[in-house]
Amino acid sequence: MKLPFRRLPAATAVLALVVGSATLSGCATHPFGGSAASRGADASVAQGDLPSRPAAAPAASGGPRANARSGPRDSEPEDVLPDVDLTGQVLYQVLASEIAVQRGQASAAAASYLQLARQTRDPRIARRAVELALTERSLERAAAAAQIWLETSPDSRMAAQTLEALYLTSGQYALAEPLLGKRLAAARETGTIASVYPALARTLARSPDRGAAFALIERVAAPDDTLPEAWLARAALAHAAEDSAFATQAAQRAMRLAPDSEEAVLAAARYQQRTADGAKPAIELLERFLARRPASQEVRVTLARLYSAEGDYARARGHLDQALSSAPEDPALLFSLAQVAYQAKQPRDAEQYLQRVLALPASVRRDNGPVYLFLAQIAEDDKRLPQAVEWLGRVGSGEQYVPALARRALLLGRLDRLDDARALLRDASVNNPGDRVQLILAEAQILRDAARHQEAFDVVDAALARQPSNADLLYEHGLAAERTGRLAEMETSFRKLIQLRPDSAHAYNALGYSLAERNERLPEALQLIEKALSLAPEDAFILDSMGWVLFRMGRLDQALQYLQRAYGLRQDAEIAAHLGEVLWALGRNEEAKRLWREARDREPDNGTLKGTLARLNVSF
């Protein structure tokens, strides 16, 4: 019997999975939900080019004109549905697929629906196949189903946009371009073209081939050269393709078309900052805009951050104070002022701003966790460890909870309350296995700081037995094994970590430095450290390792260059110990003494420095 195949079991739309979410603000974020002038808005959530309206759920039974919609459908045309032989096999596949969905077997259900779509040529079945393919994150299967959907429902805007977004997301620009061109042409006719470009830029910015994505936006945006949105989209794609110069030019073109647009001037400043000219032109650009639009909070806050990054804390603070005068209960502005004051070495002012955040009325939404962490840091810097412990204890559930707990335990250890510290970590209620590992590592560090190296090894060794492939545990296990003289176990752990994480610069460095420190297998140590340096060329400790292995090999001039670079990046006492020893070996004794004296003043208990001075019989 031939029946009009009209209705299917209920389905849930998941189209947005193909594009996820992203932001193009480019501004530093705050723990209070975005930048100071834009909180409360959710405009940063991108849905790419897929329709944001969820797919309608088909009903379970047929009837006259059973595919009629109840309510408006954004001008989405009615599907022209095929007459399908409603066999028992078709019904069985539909029901079996939906049962598979309920059991979490989306892959099997997607494959079954795709087969049905090819067999029936029904657009609703194809659409359901797309939804399920996206649930299992199979873009290839989703695109095949979306193609059938569009072929069987050629006037469907949603089908066209879905297939277009799938092609764009997977980098199939030749297939996407005709669909995109048709959509842009329709938007020009309806006067909605400006609204298309922001979402299009977000989708293309996640492209696997940023250069090709930029070339595509250049071609399709050519008719819209009078639209600032088109130039901002070009700028975003040029920036994604690492062409900051063109990104700046395109954003400045948008500014000329819309001279009062905050979005355009912020984009131009953001891209300008990344060019060879640096932050100065970006600062001048924002200052000129503020001279015309002094009420622009977002621009003022961004300008303050640029000044802060340049070390001009007075101007940064002046702009933030002016912004605060317009929004005195803005927690993000107060937090920014605390950051600037702290960077300017004014911790008391920073504390006052943070206390003002805590004193805000309960009606002002904010997360106090970062405030407590910041106050704890200031107290710790000032050697007020009990107060730092108290602040850390106020951090509740959330992403700051585990770091605060670990830091609190470490400070308790420094207060000689080792048992309290270990109990705090072991009794903590955490559900995430990764969080539990972080607490185990904190316990090991507490024991290490107390020179109880055997106990530290035992803690990590027991944890590693339960999670033998955990990268963090393997790294700490290698360090703990070395401290307790288990050199074979140390090497085994580091080599396993390298096997699991071949891009782990610190694994190569740890093994190479260990060999260099013991003056063993120096060519192999050099090779390991060279590999680490290729993965992290600006890491101060890896540069230090390179200098140290070269020193061990008698290549003093090369060693000096690497160690000077390392110390320039980080004034660490261990790096100072190594650099000073190379200077000492080169006969530059006074330079070495001056360096060691400065390092000792900063870190009087550093073991490497103390050992170096004792071994060389150096006193001040």
Domains of the chain: 1-61+77-170 (1.25.40.10)
Mean pLDDT of 316-345: 95
Contact partners, residue 398, CB within 8 Å, separation at least 6: 367, 369
How far apart, in whole angstroms, are the C-alpha atoms of residue 374 and residue 376?
5
Helix (H, G, I), strand (E, B) or coil at 159: helix
Contact predicate 161/169, CB 8 Å: no
Helix residue spans in 103-192 (DSSP H): 106-120, 123-135, 139-152, 157-169, 173-190
Of the given ranges (329-343, 421-435, 472-486), which has the lowest mean pLDDT?
Answer: 421-435
How far apart, in whole angstroms, are the C-alpha atoms of residue 295 and residue 302?
13
Mean pLDDT of 234-263: 92
Phi, psi (degrees; rounded to nearest 5) at 4: -65, 115
How far apart, in whole angstroms, are the C-alpha atoms of residue 301 and residue 424?
40
Q: Residue 24 above 50 pLDDT?
A: no
How far apart, in whole angstroms, are the C-alpha atoms of residue 446 and residue 423?
12
**Span 502-550, pLDDT tens digits:** 999 999 999 999 999 999 999 999 999 999 999 999 999 999 999 999 9
Task: Note the pLDDT of residue 122.
Answer: 85
Q: Residue 46 above 80 pLDDT?
A: no
Task: Note the pLDDT of residue 450.
Answer: 93
Task: Note the pLDDT of residue 48.
Answer: 38
**Span 182-217, pLDDT tens digits:** 899 989 989 999 989 998 898 888 877 888 888 898
Contact predicate 44/74, CB 8 Å: no
% of the chain with per-residue pLDDT over 90: 61
How do beta strands 3-4 and 83-84 pair?
antiparallel
Q: Residue 15 above 50 pLDDT?
A: no
Report the 10 Å Cβ neighbour count for 210.
19
What pLDDT band is residue 87 in, cutting at 50, 70 and 90?
A: low
Mean pLDDT of 7-33: 33
How far apart, in whole angstroms, are the C-alpha atoms of residue 180 and residue 164?
7
Beta bridge partners of 83: 4
**Span 572-610, pLDDT tens digits:** 999 999 999 999 999 999 999 999 999 999 999 898 999
Q: What global pTM score does this model have?
A: 0.68
Q: Residue 620 above 70 pLDDT?
A: yes
Contact predicate 98/113, CB 8 Å: no
Residue the block writes with tokens 């409360």: 40
Query: Which amino acid, residue 233?
Result: A
Residue the block writes with tokens 């002022």: 337
